[in-house]
Amino acid sequence: MIGYIAGTLTTIAFAPQLLKALKTKSTKDVSLLMLICSTSGMALWLVHGYLIHDNALVIANFISVSLAFSLLVYKMKNEY
């Protein structure tokens, strides 16, 4: 049970960050390296989940990598 709550919280954590970025149109203080580490790490968790046939890992990381990648693209478009 604690694991499910933990998983939900860490999976959706980037949602408020993405909404904030879209609202303020500012991502200056958000670290590019943090987004690169998060996106690539979550993508690898997804691959790992697929390889070990763990649907929970695949679904959770599909959501979180989508949020993190959107934020990364938005920051790149916004600043570079």
Please report, as ranges, the residues that interact with a copy of itself according to CB under 8 A.
2-3, 5-17, 19-21, 24, 26-31, 33-34, 37-38, 40-45, 47-48, 51-52
Between the alpha carbon of residue 43 and those of residues 16, 22, 52, 79, the distances in Å are 20, 23, 14, 24
Q: CB of 33: closest distance to a copy of itself in angstroms? A: 4
Q: Which is nearer to a copy of itself, 20 or 73 (CB)?
A: 20
| CA 70 – CA 21 distance, rounded (Å) | 11
Tell the smallest beta-carbon distance from residue 58 to a copy of itself (Å). Answer: 12
Residue 32 belongs to what H/E stretch? Answer: helix 32-51
